[in-house]
A and B are shown apart, each in its own frame.
Chain A
Amino acid sequence: MIFGVIFGILLLGAVFAGWYVFSLQAYKKDSLQVMNSAHLAFLLTIFHVVATVSIAGIVVKNTSWYVLFMISAVILGAVVATFRKTFQQNLMSLNFALPKGRLLMIGIWLFVILQVFALGRGILAPPNVFDSQVYHLPISINWFQDGEIKLFDDVPVGRFNYATKAPKMLNYWFLAFSQGSIHFVELSQYFGLILLMLSVYGILRNMKASKQWAVWGALLAAFIPIVVIETHTLQDHMLLTAIHFAVVKLLLDFVDMKFKSDRWGIMMMSLGLGLLLAAKFSAPAHVVAIFGVFGLLYIKDIFRLLKVKNIPAMIGGVALIALVGGTWYILNVLNYGSIFGPPQPQSEKEAILLTNIMQVPKRFFESAHRYTPDLVNISGYGPFAVTVGLLGSLFAVVRYFKNRKVVGIVLSTVLLQVLYFSVYLTPYNYRLLIFMPVGLIIVGIYYISQSKTSFLQSSVKGLALLSMVFVLFTTLQTDYFRQPFRAWQNYFMSYAEDQTIVRLDYTTDKYRRDNSFLFIDQFVPRPEPILYITQHEYGYDDLVIAGYYDNDLQREAIWGGHISDSAYVTSNGEGTEELVAYMRNRNISYLHNNIVFFYNNPVELQPGEEFIELTENLFYLPDQL
């Protein structure tokens, strides 16, 4: 298992190396070529994983690790073969030397300590955030157990179908190479974290900030509390933000004519756009904000593209966007008649823009709640972004109002925030708004880096370290456990095979109200499949699905439909004639009533006399005598 994960990571290293050499061909030779190419190569690595998993799951219909390996080997082989004469020489151009500075070194060590905690937590504990258990993880589990990716299926949670799948494909890489271990799946968050840091670094270098300040910017982005928290979840907001800023960087490279030709620029920006659209179904708002603002600011450069010789690249770019990102929206139109899937009850509210704006001060200063993955009524932006970042950005807009890059980043960030504020209001909506603190950090750091006042620069470095220590300390415990230390102690002291999703989480609201999941986790043999019937309020299909699975995904959970339209249970909970026949034919002995978070009088199952009630909501069908 662990060797499989190491193999998967080494393969990613080889993939990155291959795409790095490829990326060198995209950029002109200058002092930033190596950095620009490394950034592009990492974006291409993400694309490579998404493409490999898509080909394996949708085309080959075999999602085994060795199929992923073979597809990767073919793609990588083609890249190496193309550049075989200069491969080694080009690869050696990668330079990881860090700029000097005592305070910066302290910052880097704090980052290492932070990652030891985050990585350790991510690997030792299974995914325990609610959304991860509702759909992020179960989607990848379905692919693992089915051995293929179905583009539309009968599923208990609508998001299995209408969510964009790129983040799940990154999760799947680690699920496949660990051969189904849920302990390594959260490593996929490092795709987002590394890309985010590279993008912030790249944008700051593009804006002519020094190497040292660019590293500060990258570190501070990694120390945004919600970024820290999301490194040990399966949430997709960090990846969305990372690709957002990767696209901004590619755009800045394009307008600065860093690419060897417009055609390279068009194709690479199209790739970035496709990945952005595939990251989350709110991504179209990001596209509007980035291209709306930068398109106006750089209108001449857009017209530069309108040449006959660029037409093939533009057609290829559109095809790339449609294939990588558009696919998920086209599927939604075909399946639901809307690019975003079925209507979202959470977005049907009035005057939410004003309410959201009124909440900004309270949210930014974060006093309402402690840090959790849900960020209840707080922003999760942390101290640096809302102090130095915010004020630095305001001063930057005043001092550098003619600098289109500064104005572009600020305006696109504000516009995007307004777009989200106009359609979405919940206590938890700031998880989607990670782009704001990242934008504030980039522009704030840019202002400080251009300052000639050394006491300002030194003070900001000191405040940066203070904020890092604060975030490191306050994000140590971000769960909902009633007795956090006891919960962790119990979990780590249990045997490895018992360190399951439910085991870690059973004192939280997800499982405390309904002990049947704990019963399943502890008493139902792992190879035994479970048939489950679901109940939920209309529009809120937030059903905990991951709770059925053990550490190695041996157990199969089969959905028997929603109680209102199930073939196996009537709407008043009685088993139909088909129920017993179906279970006996499929050798299923367990029937479960999945009602987690359904508060309004869920129907009790009464499957029939053949069944023994093991515990509330769980029934056992003995073998026929």
Chain B
Amino acid sequence: MKRLDSLLLILILVLTGYYYYQNVDKIIYTRDVILQGVEQSKSESGIVRVEIFENGVVRERKSFVKEVVKNSEERNMLFMEIPEDIPVQALIDGRMVVEVNGRSVIGALQSDNVVLFEDVDMALYIINGDYKNTVAKLIE
């Protein structure tokens, strides 16, 4: 019986080695997700709540998570991404009114895909499409 058990153990060890060898990528994937998280958690981020009205109907209060960057004048630059099919034009032409932290703000179309809402200590950029490149350009 001992011989049979020894054979079993050898086979188990071989098969176990093969299994883990085949599955190293799962460990690497999870490790990368965790490392990516550690890296991202170092960057500052924040939330802005916005109320939007349209056609006289109050829309839900929203929270958009975005990046917050301090510019050279120590002013916060906030970046918000909205779904691509919400036209940024609608945010400034009266079809949608945006409130930030309970105060109405007036936006200005800065480019085809960016609306800027300026306040005393912050500049909120609502970006529609091509988020990464647009943010990079704005920070520059």
Q: Tell me, yes or no, whether A367 is within 8 Å of chain B by CB.
A: yes
A388 touches B59 (CB 8 A): no
B40 touches A391 (CB 8 A): no
Q: Which residues of B contact A616 (CB under 8 A)?
A: 85
Q: Tell me, yes or no, whether A459 is within 8 Å of chain B by CB.
A: yes
Q: Tell me, yes or no, whether A452 is within 8 Å of chain B by CB.
A: yes
Q: Which residues of B contact A620 (CB under 8 A)?
A: 55, 57
Q: Tell me, yes or no, whether A483 is within 8 Å of chain B by CB.
A: yes
Per-residue interface assignment for chain A, residues 474 to 500, with 1 indicating a CB less than 8 Å from any chain B CB and 0 otherwise:
101100000111101110011101100
Q: Tell me, yes or no, whether A366 is within 8 Å of chain B by CB.
A: yes
Query: Complex Cα distance A366/B15, Å?
Result: 13
Pick the interface stretch among B30-38, B71-79, B97-105, B107-115: B30-38
Query: Complex Cα distance A275/B65, Å?
Result: 45
B12 touches A460 (CB 8 A): yes
CB distance from B24 to the nearest CB of A (A): 9
Q: Name B45's contact: one of A476, A493, A495 (CB within 8 Å).
A: A493
B41 touches A489 (CB 8 A): yes
Q: Name B5's contact: one of A387, A456, A522, A614 (CB within 8 Å).
A: A456
B8 touches A395 (CB 8 A): yes
Query: Complex Cα distance A271/B55, Å?
Result: 57
A474 touches B27 (CB 8 A): yes
Q: Tell me, yes or no, whether A540 is within 8 Å of chain B by CB.
A: no
Knowing A386-B19, A523-B59 are in contact, say whether A493-B12 is a contact too (CB < 8 A). Answer: no
Query: Complex Cα distance A615/B36, Å?
Result: 34
Interface residues of B in 48-69 (CB under 8 A from A): 49, 52, 54-55, 57-63, 65
CB distance from B33 to the nearest CB of A (A): 5
Per-residue interface assignment for chain B, residues 1 to 27, with 1 indicating a CB less than 8 Å from any chain A CB and 0 otherwise:
110111011011101101110110111
Q: Tell me, yes or no, whether A624 is within 8 Å of chain B by CB.
A: no
CB distance from B109 to the nearest CB of A (A): 19
Knowing A453-B1, A476-B33, A494-B65 are in contact, say whether A489-B45 is a contact too (CB < 8 A). Answer: yes
Q: Which residues of B contact A614 (CB under 8 A)?
A: 54
Q: Tell me, yes or no, whether A518 is within 8 Å of chain B by CB.
A: yes
The residue in chain A whose Cβ has the minimal distance to the Cβ of B9 is A456
CB distance from A249 to the nearest CB of B (A): 26
Q: Name A476's contact: one of B1, B5, B6, B30 (CB within 8 Å).
A: B30
Tally of contact residues, B, Cβ under 8 A: 46
Q: Which residues of B contact A470 (CB under 8 A)?
A: 20, 23, 27
Tally of contact residues, A, Cβ under 8 A: 56
Q: Tell me, yes or no, whether B47 is within 8 Å of chain A by CB.
A: yes
Query: Complex Cα distance A258/B45, Å?
Result: 62
Q: Which residues of A contact B1 (CB under 8 A)?
A: 451-453
Q: Which residues of B contact A516 (CB under 8 A)?
A: 85
Q: Tell me, yes or no, whether A370 is within 8 Å of chain B by CB.
A: yes
Query: Complex Cα distance A201/B57, Å?
Result: 58
Query: Complex Cα distance A108/B11, Å?
Result: 27
Q: Name A387's contact: one of B6, B12, B57, B86 (CB within 8 Å).
A: B12
Query: Complex Cα distance A22/B47, Å?
Result: 54
Per-residue interface assignment for chain A, residues 515 to 534, with 1 indicating a CB less than 8 Å from any chain B CB and 0 otherwise:
11011001111100000000
Interface residues of A in 325-384 (CB under 8 A from B): 365-367, 370-371, 383
Q: Tell me, yes or no, whether A8 is within 8 Å of chain B by CB.
A: no
Q: Which residues of B contact A124 (CB under 8 A)?
A: none
B47 touches A495 (CB 8 A): yes
CB distance from A189 to the nearest CB of B (A): 22
Q: Which residues of B contact A493 (CB under 8 A)?
A: 45, 47, 65
The residue in chain B whose Cβ has the minimal distance to the Cβ of A478 is B30
Q: Tell me, yes or no, whether A612 is within 8 Å of chain B by CB.
A: yes
A387 touches B40 (CB 8 A): no
CB distance from B71 to the nearest CB of A (A): 22
Q: Which residues of A contact B49 (CB under 8 A)?
A: 495
CB distance from B8 to the nearest CB of A (A): 5
Q: Name B20's contact: one of A383, A395, A476, A497 (CB within 8 Å).
A: A383
A612 touches B83 (CB 8 A): no
Per-residue interface assignment for chain A, residues 384 to 423, with 1 indicating a CB less than 8 Å from any chain B CB and 0 otherwise:
0011101110010001000000000000000000000000
Q: Which residues of B contact A365 (CB under 8 A)?
A: 18-19, 22-23
Q: Which residues of A contact B8 (CB under 8 A)?
A: 391-392, 395, 456
Q: Tell me, yes or no, whether A12 is within 8 Å of chain B by CB.
A: no
Q: Which residues of A contact B23 (CB under 8 A)?
A: 365-367, 383, 470, 474
A524 touches B5 (CB 8 A): no
Knowing A383-B19, A523-B59 are in contact, say whether A370-B12 is a contact too (CB < 8 A). Answer: no
The residue in chain A whose Cβ has the minimal distance to the Cβ of B11 is A391
B30 touches A473 (CB 8 A): yes
29 contacts between A and B (CB under 8 A): A366-B19, A366-B22, A367-B23, A383-B19, A387-B19, A390-B15, A391-B8, A451-B1, A453-B5, A453-B6, A456-B8, A470-B20, A470-B27, A474-B26, A474-B27, A476-B33, A484-B33, A488-B37, A489-B40, A489-B65, A494-B47, A494-B65, A495-B47, A495-B49, A497-B61, A498-B62, A525-B59, A525-B60, A612-B55
Query: Known contacts A474-B29, A494-B63, A519-B85; can you find 7 more A-B pairs with CB under 8 A?
Result: A383-B19, A452-B1, A456-B5, A463-B16, A476-B34, A516-B85, A519-B86
Which B residues have a C-beta under 8 Å from some C-beta of A? 1-2, 4-6, 8-9, 11-13, 15-16, 18-20, 22-23, 25-27, 29-30, 33-34, 36-37, 40-41, 45, 47, 49, 52, 54-55, 57-63, 65, 83-86
Which A residues have a C-beta under 8 Å from some C-beta of B? 365-367, 370-371, 383, 386-388, 390-392, 395, 399, 451-453, 455-456, 459-460, 463, 466, 470, 473-474, 476-477, 483-486, 488-490, 493-495, 497-498, 515-516, 518-519, 522-526, 589, 612, 614-616, 620, 622
